Amino acid sequence: MIVLKLGGSVITDKERAETLDGDALDRAADAVAAALETPSESLADGLVVVHGGGSFGHYNASEHGVSTTAGTHDPTAIHDIHGAMKTLNAFVLSRLLEREVPAVPVHPFSAGHRDEEGELQLPTGQVTTLLEEGFVPVLHGDVIGHAGQGATIVSGDELVVELATSLEADRIGLCSTVPGVLDDDGVIDRIESYEAVEDVLGESEATDVTGGMAAKVQALLALEADASIFGLDGLASFLDGTEPGSTIE
């Protein structure tokens, strides 16, 4: 089983508020549809898709001063952030459904929460059931209830880690705007520790309230299974069973 994240910076223009990158989303949807037509061995037990917030979620979260640690008790802020993410999720679902991918939404705001220590609690029984019934569950970065903080952001990267662990994913992929984790010599083929790449990891240049590439690498290093970070050009090959971009051990 594969857990795939489509980065928000891939499917939206993060420099412009609530702006979809329709061409990139079409390319991603094409790759998913083609892979499911002739599934690789690792897709035998299904596919879960997670997408980031991009210029929809990050813009609204930033406007209201909400992040993965800074919460809000303002219902307007919650409606703005969650509403923007539902809009983006609807775009993703529509592109997949147009290609006969049996995609269905799972909204984290209604499914999980953070406890007082800030740990994400996300039951995955609904995702497992949907997979077993032949669907492709599509989750997304979202606002989420947080004990003592009102509501904070749950990032797509956090969801990937939680889903990959709970569902015992065989493979994890993060489709980004770059072909992998980069240093001065190009794409780093394999990463075994955060310390080895700490000096070359930077924050996102666009509005991002969830930590950029550094947070991605740290989250993926915590997983049992290897994960891949790759660009949109590598999505089809990843779904076919190869390891494009950077492999996070």
Instruction: Kindly give the confidence (pLDDT) of every residue in the chain, 249 residues in length, as a single tens digit, with 9 standing for 90 and above.
Output: 999 999 999 999 988 999 999 999 999 999 999 999 988 888 989 999 999 999 999 999 999 999 999 999 999 999 999 999 999 999 999 999 999 999 999 999 999 999 999 999 999 999 999 999 999 999 999 999 999 999 999 999 899 999 999 999 999 999 999 888 888 888 888 988 888 788 777 554 444 544 567 777 887 888 888 899 999 999 999 999 988 999 998
Q: Tell me, rounded to whole angstroms, the distance of Cα 26 from its chain centroid.
A: 17
CA distance 87 to 90: 5
Does 9 carry a binding-site annotation? yes
Q: Tell me the residue ranges of DSSP E strands in 27-69.
A: 47-51
Instruction: Find the helix or strand (DSSP H, E) in which 143 lies.
Output: strand 142-146
Is 134 annotated in a binding site? The answer is no
Q: Find where tokens 């998913």 sit.
A: 32
Domains of the chain, by residue range, sit at 2-248
CATH ID of 2-248, from 3.30.1320.10, 3.40.1160.10, 3.40.50.10090, 3.20.20.140:
3.40.1160.10
Determine whether 30 is exposed, middle or buried from the number of CB atoms within 10 Å of its CB (0-12, 13-18, 19+). middle
Task: Give pLDDT, residue 233.
Answer: 96
Q: Is 216 annotated as a binding residue?
A: yes
User: Tell me, what's the pLDDT at 206?
Assistant: 47
- Is residue 186 annotated as involved in ligand binding? no
Q: How far is Cα 191 from Cα 88, in angstroms, rounded to an integer? A: 32
pLDDT of 202: 59
Q: Residue type at 82?
A: H
DSSP 183-209: ETTEE-SEE--STTTGGG----SS--S
H-run or E-run covering 83: helix 75-98
Tell whether residue 7 is among the known ligand binding residues: yes
